[in-house]
């Protein structure tokens, strides 16, 4: 992400996967969830489609049977920062590893007509911006990106996707969510500012619902 | 007039933040080995400790081998990477003082199976876990949902979840189902009806005469799969069935339990409360359901036609084509034309005692078909296993040619040795038929324990008699 006079910008090549219901098992298969690290998932993004063999955690990309037909294996898409999908992107498992894999690959924004709830939340905690657009607009974007590699430029403050020099699409996103990406806020720090309120709530709850606190 | 979800939300609402989001107090936090290590690491980096130790209960389930027998410890896991993860959970629980039912414990099991059966899941609680199937606990009248690893860290650190309120959906299942139809069929049918994104943004309350008449185990199967309809939260108001269940499992003293029961018996949606969306489903017309494709919404009657790109709408053609290709469906027009290789009875959806009893009744005195190379039964927990063995179910399964395993997530997902080989076709009682979910290039057909048992005996999706 970079900053200019207009604010924070995500710009780069748009890759696309033209199918509905891309679940988090597709974004990163369970095998790679065995890692106890928070980083290093880039080579396993879309593993089942990106390679022609069965991968294992720790095996290097160079030693894999690459599926040359898959978009992310071809230049300039290997450098993609924006990913275009369709309906219900990121449905399924709650694994945050799915967002970590997108982030580690370099994807900074995912555009789709709808997202799985848990995935959508996980994105903002890792600096990946999920953008919801109406189906007509998704169709329009697919028409643009399918014939040749194109770059979009997304202005976070203005909530605008610049498709080219003249065309743009506005998008909506809750301010508190996008602020987390713009300012890199940490949720634990924010919530702990309310420590006293949480303690008071807990004190009252211990009295009103004692069965929750058996050994305390 | 408030819905049950509204009431649970308000009951746990600590404060609203400047962002507009709320801090929701969490009563119970379940942990397992896969989504917790990075959260514990984050906690340590911030020099924080768990806010309320007693709220947390941990168990390893995703990575554990199911052929371990007794006296097996974490460091005996053969897969080095799986071993690291399970050992890491041991280390973290020891370091932070979190109660764990570890791999050696007779009470270990799938986290969503052990929580309710050990009395840790109680009506009216807020429950979270770094696993999307946490919605299961909603069956006891909890506000329960799956969370990501950052949120696991947040809950450990603050005892709260930072969330925005969901919309309310009411789903009424009315009537009496046919004999061979279980709650798995009902929920699969419902997912087929509204689609895997139909419940996105909603908390779904399941109600109606059908729900009132079924067991807690059956209710758990329905709430478990709310997430497959897109809903993070699925819940059912506590009633006499719930309270009887809890009373049997609870470790609470009499006084606390009685006080709690007073509260639980009044915990329900007010008459006249408004939902943002409502469905009424007549369950008497539902046939056993089996998925044919790579999303839980790709489901048909067990004797129905598999959709072809010819008979669906234009924008669905591609999804159907991709799914048919992956599933290796060529000229076959019906599910009964497909020949199966494996059968898996287990997972947080269908590995409870009731599920095993149903399947055992079908396979009793019969033999697994020749084309089935492996049929496994994986009880959801040590307690389920003990109970089943006491009833002799293990013997029935073994005599029919099934393999009887130790508790764990097993073949629901490819993180442990129980996996499909490429192109193997599996009758599975689990919850997701995504590409590669049960193993690289494996083909999953979701169904009820009853239908999986029939498939094991017939070798194909057969006629329930």
Residue A28 shares a structural domain with residue A45: yes
Residue B317 shares a structural domain with residue B383: yes
Residue A78 shares a structural domain with residue A180: yes
CA distance A176 to chain B (A): 5
Would an 8 Å CB–CB cutoff place B354 in contact with chain A?
A: no
Residue A196 shares a structural domain with residue A177: no
In a domain, B20, yes or no: yes
Residue A171 shares a structural domain with residue A211: no
Nearest to B334 by CA among B352, B307, B314: B307
- Cβ A54–B149 below 8 Å, yes or no? no
Crossing angle of the two packed helices B353-363 and B393-400, in degrees rounded to 10: 40
Residue B351 shares a structural domain with residue B424: yes
Residue A136 shares a structural domain with residue A211: no
Q: With 90 as the cut, is the pLDDT of residue A158 above it?
A: yes
pLDDT at A1: 59
pLDDT at B314: 83
The ipTM assigned to this model is: 0.95
In a domain, B464, yes or no: no
pLDDT at A7: 61
Name residues 390-419 of chain B within 8 A of A (Cβ): 413-415
Would an 8 Å CB–CB cutoff place B81 in contact with chain A?
A: yes
What gap in Å lies between CA B278 and CA B341, rounded to an integer? 40
What gap in Å lies between CA B137 and CA A62, rounded to an integer? 44
DSSP-derived 3-state class of residue B100: strand
pLDDT at B42: 97
- Cβ A33–B62 below 8 Å, yes or no? yes
Residue A193 shares a structural domain with residue A106: no
Name residues 282-341 of chain B within 8 A of A (Cβ): 295, 297, 318-319, 322
Picking from B128, B163, B198, the residue at the C-terminal end of a domain is: B163
CB B108 within 8 A of CB B60: yes
Report DSSP letters for B123-180, one per residue: TT-EEEESSGGGGGGGGGT-EEEE--HHHHHHHHHHSEEEE-PPEEEEEEEES---TT
Which single residue is written with the structure tokens 């003249």? A166
E strand segments, B45-94: 56-58
CA distances from B132 to A103, B29, B87, B148, B399 (A): 21, 13, 23, 9, 35
Cβ-based contacts under 8 A for chains A and B: 196
Residue B177 shares a structural domain with residue B112: no
- Cβ A36–B88 below 8 Å, yes or no? yes
**Closest in A31, A115, A198 to B23, CB measured:** A198
Beta-bridge partners for A83: A15, A110
- pLDDT, tens digit, for every residue of A89-145? 999 999 999 999 999 999 999 999 999 999 999 999 999 999 999 999 999 999 999
- Check whether the bond before B385 is cis (ω within 30° of 0): no
- For position A23, which CATH number holds? 3.20.19.10
Residue B171 shares a structural domain with residue B155: no
In this structure, what token pair is assigned to residue B44? 């340590």
Residue B146 shares a structural domain with residue B175: no
Picking from B120, B148, B163, the residue at the C-terminal end of a domain is: B163
Name residues 138-167 of chain A within 8 A of B (Cβ): none
Per the structure, how many domains does chain A have?
Answer: 2
Residue A175 shares a structural domain with residue A98: yes
Q: What are the phi and psi torsion angles at B261 (to 5°)?
A: -60, -35
Residue A6 shares a structural domain with residue A103: yes
Interface mutation target, options A25, A179, A187, chain B, most CBs of B under 10 Å: A187
- For position B398, which CATH number holds? 3.30.499.10
- Cβ A194–B23 below 8 Å, yes or no? yes
B-chain residues within 8 Å CB-CB of A115?
Answer: 200
Residue A61 shares a structural domain with residue A148: yes
In this structure, what token pair is assigned to residue B243? 């309270």
Cα torsion B190, B147, B377, B352 to 10°: value is -70
In this structure, what token pair is assigned to residue B386? 């003990």
Report DSSP letters for B236-303, one per residue: ----HHHHHHHHHH----HHHHHHHHHHHHT-SPPTTPPPSEEEEEEGGGPPPEEE-SSSTT-EEETT
What gap in Å lies between CA B280 and CA A28, rounded to an integer? 36
What gap in Å lies between CA B316 and CA B226, rounded to an integer? 23
Residue A150 shares a structural domain with residue A207: no
In this structure, what token pair is assigned to residue A107? 């994807």
Nearest-by-CA chain B residue for A51:
B440
Q: Are strands B160-163 and B22-25 parallel, antiparallel or unpaired?
A: antiparallel
Residue A135 shares a structural domain with residue A150: yes
Residue B157 shares a structural domain with residue B179: no
A-chain residues within 8 Å CB-CB of B443?
Answer: none
In this structure, what token pair is assigned to residue B402? 């099934």
Would an 8 Å CB–CB cutoff place B151 in contact with chain A?
A: yes
What gap in Å lies between CA B123 and CA B121, rounded to an integer? 7
In this structure, what token pair is assigned to residue A97? 């590893």
**Residue ranges of chain B with pLDDT lower than 50?**
none
Q: Is B254 exposed, middle or buried (0-12, 13-18, 19+ CB in 10 A)?
A: exposed
- For position B211, which CATH number holds? 3.40.1060.10
In a domain, B332, yes or no: yes
Residue B157 shares a structural domain with residue B230: no
Beta-bridge partners for A82: A14, A109
Helix (H) or strand (E) holding A131: strand A129-132
Span A36-42, mean pLDDT? 96
pLDDT at A3: 63
- Cβ B14–A26 below 8 Å, yes or no? no
The domain in which residue B145 lies consists of: 4-163
User: H helices within B12-79, ranges in order?
Assistant: 37-45
A-chain residues within 8 Å CB-CB of B196?
Answer: 21, 88, 91
- Cβ A176–B232 below 8 Å, yes or no? no
In a domain, B463, yes or no: no
What gap in Å lies between CA B281 and CA A38, rounded to an integer? 43
In a domain, B245, yes or no: yes
Residue B305 shares a structural domain with residue B418: yes
CA distances from B337 to B22, B300, B380 (A): 52, 14, 31
Q: Angle at CA A176, nearest 5°, toward A170 and A182?
A: 70
Question: What average pLDDT is seen over chain A?
Answer: 94
Per the structure, how many domains does chain B have?
Answer: 3
CA distances from B385 to B93, B109, B364, B413 (A): 25, 10, 18, 20
Picking from B144, B163, B182, the residue at the C-terminal end of a domain is: B163
Residue B378 shares a structural domain with residue B298: yes
Helix (H) or strand (E) holding A7: strand A7-16
Which single residue is written with the structure tokens 């057969």? B462
Residue B441 shares a structural domain with residue B317: yes
Residue B151 shares a structural domain with residue B182: no
Q: With 70 as the cut, is the pLDDT of residue A4 above it?
A: no
The domain in which residue A216 lies consists of: 186-216
Which single residue is written with the structure tokens 């329900």? B268
In a domain, B465, yes or no: no
């Amino acid at each position: 992400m970079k900053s200019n006079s207009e604010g924070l910008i995500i710009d780069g090549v748009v890759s696309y996967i033209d199918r509905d219901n891309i679940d988090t098992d597709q974004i990163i298969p369970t095998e790679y969830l065995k890692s106890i690290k928070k980083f290093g998932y880039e080579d396993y993004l879309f593993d089942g489609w990106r390679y022609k063999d069965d991968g294992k955690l720790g095996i290097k990309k160079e030693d894999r049977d690459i599926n040359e037909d898959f978009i992310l294996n071809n230049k300039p898409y290997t450098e993609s920062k924006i990913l275009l999908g369709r309906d219900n992107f990121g449905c399924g498992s709650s694994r945050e590893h799915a967002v970590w894999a997108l982030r580690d690959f370099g994807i900074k924004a995912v555009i789709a007509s709808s997202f799985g709830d848990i995935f959508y939340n996980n994105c903002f905690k890792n600096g990946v911006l999920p953008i919801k657009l109406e189906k007509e607009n998704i169709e329009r974007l697919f028409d643009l990106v399918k014939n040749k590699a194109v770059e979009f430029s997304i202005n976070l403050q203005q909530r605008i996707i610049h498709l080219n020099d003249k065309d743009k699409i506005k998008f909506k996103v809750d301010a508190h969510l996008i602020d987390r990406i713009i300012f890199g806020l940490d949720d634990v720090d924010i919530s702990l500012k309310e420590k006293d309120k949480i303690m008071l709530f807990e004190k009252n709850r211990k009295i009103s619902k004692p069965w929750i606190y058996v050994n305390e | 007039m408030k819905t049950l979800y509204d009431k649970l939300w308000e009951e746990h609402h600590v404060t609203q933040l400047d962002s507009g989001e709320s801090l929701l107090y969490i009563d119970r936090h379940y942990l397992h080995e896969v989504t917790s290590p990075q959260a514990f690491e984050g906690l340590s980096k911030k020099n924080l400790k768990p806010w309320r130790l007693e709220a947390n209960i941990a168990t390893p389930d995703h990575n554990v081998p199911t052929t371990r027998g007794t006296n097996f410890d974490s460091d005996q896991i053969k897969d080095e990477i799986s071993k690291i993860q399970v050992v890491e959970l041991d280390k973290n629980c020891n370091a932070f003082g979190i109660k764990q039912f570890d791999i050696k414990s007779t009470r270990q099991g799938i986290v969503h199976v052990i929580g309710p059966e050990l009395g840790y899941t109680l009506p009216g609680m807020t429950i979270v876990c770094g696993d999307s199937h946490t919605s299961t606990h909603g069956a006891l009248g909890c506000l329960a949902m799956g969370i990501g690893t950052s949120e696991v860290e947040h809950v450990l650190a603050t005892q709260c979840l930072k969330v925005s309120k969901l919309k309310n959906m009411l789903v009424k299942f009315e009537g009496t189902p046919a004999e061979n139809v279980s709650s798995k069929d009902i929920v699969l049918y419902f997912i087929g009806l509204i689609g895997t994104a139909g419940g996105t943004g909603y908390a779904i309350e399941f109600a109606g005469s059908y729900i009132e008449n079924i067991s807690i185990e059956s209710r758990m199967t329905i709430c478990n799969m709310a997430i497959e309809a897109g809903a993070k939260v699925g819940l059912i108001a506590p009633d006499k069935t719930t309270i009887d269940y809890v009373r049997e499992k609870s470790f609470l003293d009499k006084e606390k339990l009685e006080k709690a029961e007073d509260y639980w018996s009044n915990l329900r949606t007010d008459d006249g409360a408004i939902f943002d969306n409502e469905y009424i489903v007549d369950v008497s017309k539902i046939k056993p359901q089996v998925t044919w494709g790579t999303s839980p919404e790709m489901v048909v009657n067990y004797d129905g036609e598999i959709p072809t790109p010819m008979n669906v709408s234009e924008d669905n053609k591609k999804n159907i084509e991709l799914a048919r290709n992956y599933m290796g469906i060529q000229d076959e027009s019906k599910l009964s034309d497909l020949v199966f290789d494996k059968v898996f009875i287990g997972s947080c959806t269908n590995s409870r005692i009731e599920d095993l009893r149903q399947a055992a009744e079908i396979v009793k005195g019969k033999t697994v078909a020749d084309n089935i190379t492996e049929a496994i039964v994986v009880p959801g927990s040590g307690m389920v296993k003990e109970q089943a063995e006491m009833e002799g179910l293990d013997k029935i399964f073994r005599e029919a040619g099934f393999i009887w395993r130790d508790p764990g997530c097993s073949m629901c997902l490819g993180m442990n040795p129980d996996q499909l080989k490429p192109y193997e076709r599996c009758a599975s009682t689990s919850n997701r038929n995504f590409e590669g979910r049960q193993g690289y290039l494996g083909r999953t057909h979701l169904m009820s324990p009853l239908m999986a048992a029939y498939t094991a005996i017939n070798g194909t999706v057969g006629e329930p008699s």
